[in-house]
Amino acid sequence: MGFAPVPNAPVCPGGGDCDTIGPMEEQFRTTSPAQTARLGAVLAKRFGRGDCLALIGQLGAGKTVLVRGIASGLGLADARLVSSPTFVLVAEYPTDPPVFHIDLYRLQDARGELLYGLGIEEMLAQGIVIVEWADRATEALPRPRWQLDITATGRTSRRLTLRRIN
């Protein structure tokens, strides 16, 4: 199932279901994990080397599913390679440009020293950095960046709000 446009709203990437909330904010709705992954693949084309995407959402919201879609959209041949890097903190995927997937779930307060100790500046110079549980490091994340909030609206349905943070 594709994304159906919201009545009287602009057409979204890939014919998506979205609303434009403001000049730098869009809202999308998905009804299944597969649709969330497809949205990620479509959104992947917006990101490039040097971009940071901060993902915020509860456990099970679909953050890793979205990352899987983004990596696939950037050329990852086997999306099964994408999993939440909770125990290793950072995973790198061979995409073009490379995706660096950081998971801060196990950290209560990720201060700037930790992120810079992980080499976030070097990662940004090489590719795209996607941070799960980004709300644990809001002040330490680079600016400008993208932020995507994922909210469960049902068992498998999600509302995703993408905004630019300057």
**Which range marks the domain in which residue 80 is found?**
13-165
Cα-based distances in Å from 124 to 121, 133, 162: 5, 18, 20
Task: Enter the tokens of residue 71.
Answer: 């990596």
Residue 15: predicted pLDDT: 43
**1 within some domain:** no
Residue 23: predicted pLDDT: 57
Residue 92: predicted pLDDT: 94
CATH number of the domain at 92, please.
3.40.50.300
**8 within some domain:** no
Residue 7: predicted pLDDT: 36
Residue 94: predicted pLDDT: 94
**4 within some domain:** no
Q: Determine contact, residues 6/17, Cβ cutoff 8 Å.
A: yes
Encode the chain (166 residues) as per-residue pLDDT tens digits. 344 333 333 334 444 455 544 557 899 999 999 999 999 999 999 999 999 999 999 999 999 999 999 999 999 999 888 987 667 789 999 999 999 999 888 776 666 567 778 888 999 999 999 999 999 888 889 999 999 999 999 999 999 999 999 9
Number of domains comprising the chain: 1
**104 within some domain:** yes
**159 within some domain:** yes
Residue 8: predicted pLDDT: 36
Burial (0-12, 13-18, 19+ Cβ within 10 Å), 165: middle
Cα-based distances in Å from 17 to 31, 66, 82: 10, 16, 25
**31 within some domain:** yes
**2 within some domain:** no
Residue 6: predicted pLDDT: 37
**42 within some domain:** yes
In angstroms, the CA 95 to CA 88 distance is 19
